[in-house]
Amino acid sequence: MQSMTGCGSGRAARDGWEVTADLKTVNHRFLDISLRLPRNLLFLEQPTREMLSEGLKRGHVDVYLTVRNSEGGAQSVQTDLFLARDYARAARMIAEAVGVSGDITGKELMGLEGVVTLTEAEMDQDKVTVLCAEALEEAIAGVRTMRAREGLHLKEDLKLHLDTASGLRNRIAERAPEVVTEYRTRLESRIAQLGVSDADPQRLAQEVALMADRCAVDEELSRLESHLIQMTRYLDAEGEIGKKMDFLVQEMNREANTIGSKASDAAIAQLVVDLKSEIEKMREQIQNVE
């Protein structure tokens, strides 16, 4: 079992290029990759998404990629001296026209549009793509390690809730037959209080049988037990199991609601409330299972 919460980092450097990859993941119904790249790195988008799709099955993934030339020379400064002279000349003309100082510094000239241009050196896309794959592989491995560690905590917590839910289910199963017995006792006591001495035993038995049929929860308890057993098996399963577990929790909640509506017993109703509370706690935890 793996959580959907994790983070990982990776770095690869060779032949003057260095790529770093940082990943952060949180829970999501599907695999949702958030990747924003500058225009000069757009060629990395498709291979990055493909690698993440292979390594991670569910969760929202924030991806941060950086690429730099570790040998320097990746950027160069180009200056347009003719344009700078024109700017300076224009500044002096304006100053003379309005009667102010026309002095302009070199630093001020560098800040004017077009005087200085920063040019990126040509990037070796093949080498950078290979390095990106290596960095991502390391980052994904880190994410999965953390997810596995978080998954162990989820497993332990879910096991506690499953054990508690199973115990409540068994208590309901023990109480259910007593509901019919107590109903028969109350019915006979009521008849005695009314002074009816010639009550038809067959009619009394039919009434008790109808009551037993209305409040019978054997099928619901059987299905609930099956869901609990299946959920326990999923705790040790590999791969993408979060959606299956979420479906089972919905079915458990359905059976609990049916038991509560059919039982017509205060003690069972309280047990059902406790059972639904445990199911809800499981549902919250399962939202973070891959």
Q: pLDDT grade, residue 132 (50/70/90)?
A: very high
Would the pLDDT of 198 be above 80? no
Mean pLDDT confidence for 127-135:
94
Distances (CA, A) of 174 to 117, 119, 206: 83, 80, 23
Say if residues 235 and 155 touch (Cβ distance below 8 Å): yes
What is the separation of C-alpha 229 from the centre of its chain, rounded to a whole number of angstroms?
24
Would the pLDDT of 197 be above 70? no
Q: pLDDT grade, residue 120 (50/70/90)?
A: low
5: left (phi over 0), alpha (psi -120 to 50) or beta: beta
Question: φ and ψ at 182, to 5 degrees?
Answer: -65, -35
Of 120, 118, 131, which is closest to residue 17 (Cα–Cα)?
A: 131
Q: pLDDT grade, residue 200 (50/70/90)?
A: low
Q: pLDDT grade, residue 162 (50/70/90)?
A: very high
Measured between alpha carbons, how far is 90 from 112 in angstroms, rounded to an integer? Answer: 13
Instruction: Give residue 121's pLDDT.
Output: 58
3 state DSSP class of 119: strand
Q: What is the pLDDT of residues 218-275, one digit of tens each?
A: 888 999 999 999 999 999 888 889 999 999 999 999 999 998 888 778 888 899 999 9
Measured between alpha carbons, how far is 232 from 244 in angstroms, rounded to an integer? Answer: 12
Measured between alpha carbons, how far is 149 from 154 in angstroms, rounded to an integer? Answer: 9
Degrees to nearest 5, angle at CA 232 with 230 and 233: 65
Instruction: Give residue 130's pLDDT.
Output: 95
Measured between alpha carbons, how far is 91 from 104 in angstroms, rounded to an integer? Answer: 7
**Cβ contacts of 168 within 8 Å, gap of 6 or more:** 271, 274, 275, 278
**Cβ contacts of 211 within 8 Å, gap of 6 or more:** 180, 183
Q: What is the mean pLDDT of the chain?
A: 86
Instruction: Give residue 10's pLDDT.
Output: 96
Burial of 290 (0-12, 13-18, 19+ CB in 10 A): buried
Q: What is the pLDDT of residues 6-56, one digit of tens each?
A: 999 999 998 888 999 999 999 998 999 999 888 888 999 999 999 999 999
Name the percent of the chain lying above pLDDT 70.
Answer: 84
Name the percent of the chain lying above pLDDT 90.
Answer: 50
Would the pLDDT of 112 be above 70? yes
Q: What is the pLDDT of residues 87-108, one digit of tens each?
A: 888 888 888 888 777 778 888 8
DSSP string, 153-187: HHHHHHHHHHHHHHHHHHHHHHHHHHHHHHHHHHH
**Alpha-helical runs (H) found in 194-241:** 201-214, 218-234
Q: Can you list the domains of the chain with their CATH numbers?
A: 6-71+125-147 (3.30.230), 75-120 (no CATH), 150-286 (1.20.120)
